[in-house]
A and B are shown apart, each in its own frame.
Chain A
Amino acid sequence: EAGVAQSPRYKIIEKRQSVAFWCNPISGHATLYWYQQILGQGPKLLIQFQNNGVVDDSQLPKDRFSAERLKGVDSTLKIQPAKLEDSAVYLCASSLGRGGVSRNTIYFGEGSWLTVV
């Protein structure tokens, strides 16, 4: 079974530039998550989708971050303009989204590493 795919794996940009990250979840997974992980900390949820609808985006800095999942499959996370403090790993994850907790293991991609200089 293919896992969660993310690209690009690494990106270096200057502050005030824009960047986009792409995620392809595991086939059939209705729930998709974007997490931000700053070095030395645990991942923090930015946004959660159920199919193509947003379930929770309370911690997404909406003045500069945006995310979409138009057809309920792939998702894109964009940062514009980037700040130095956005340097982090951006993790995409997915889960089945139904059937109880025991059937809803959350699977993570390898992450996209962003450095803002």
Chain B
Amino acid sequence: DAKTTQPNSMESNEEEPVHLPCNHSTISGTDYIHWYRQLPSQGPEYVIHGLTSNVNNRMASLAIAEDRKSSTLILHRATLRDAAVYYCILRDVNNAGNMLTFGGGTRLMVKP
């Protein structure tokens, strides 16, 4: 399975943008890039996913490098509620039921 590399932790100030990086240098052409986050004492929740183009939704934006070897999750205005562990995960487009393989993720701390 293609693996991802993320920083262990990051800090941000409330109401400022946050850029969470992810490296996936061995990504294959059929891998989607997914982001999930896990709030304290909760199960992981879906944030966003993309294949080649940048993506936006109500939670975040996903910027994907042209060579697809890295991506960045962008929270436009961090709130205290965004403090969580963020996981960058690759999923094969050809396998709809494919499980998620989690790494260690990035723990985001948001300061008031």
Contact = CB atoms under 8 A, between A and B. Distances in A.
A33 interface: yes
B7 interface: no
Interface string A41-64: 111110010100001100000000
Interface stretch (B20-28, B64-72, B75-83, B99-107): B99-107
Which one of B91, B95, B98 has the greatest number of beta carbons of chain A within 10 Å? B98
A43 B102 contact: yes
Contact of A45 (B41, B44, B46, B99): B99
Contacts of B101: 45
Q: Is the interface of B mostly helix, strand, loop or mixed?
A: loop
Interface string B33-46: 00000000111111
Contacts of A27: none
Interface string A71-114: 00000000000000000000101011111111111111111000
Contact of A91 (B43, B49, B85, B87): B43
Contacts of A107: 45-46
Contact of A104 (B43, B85, B96): B96
Contacts of A100: 93, 96
B29 interface: no
A101 B96 contact: yes
B97 interface: yes
A54 B92 CA distance: 20
Nearest 8 CB-CB pairs, A to B?
A108-B43, A42-B102, A31-B97, A104-B96, A105-B46, A97-B97, A45-B99, A43-B102
24 contacts: A4-B43, A33-B99, A42-B85, A42-B104, A42-B105, A44-B102, A48-B97, A56-B99, A91-B43, A91-B44, A93-B43, A97-B97, A100-B93, A100-B96, A101-B32, A101-B49, A101-B91, A101-B93, A101-B98, A102-B32, A102-B49, A104-B96, A105-B46, A110-B43
Interface of A: 4, 30-31, 33, 41-45, 48, 50, 55-56, 91, 93, 95-111
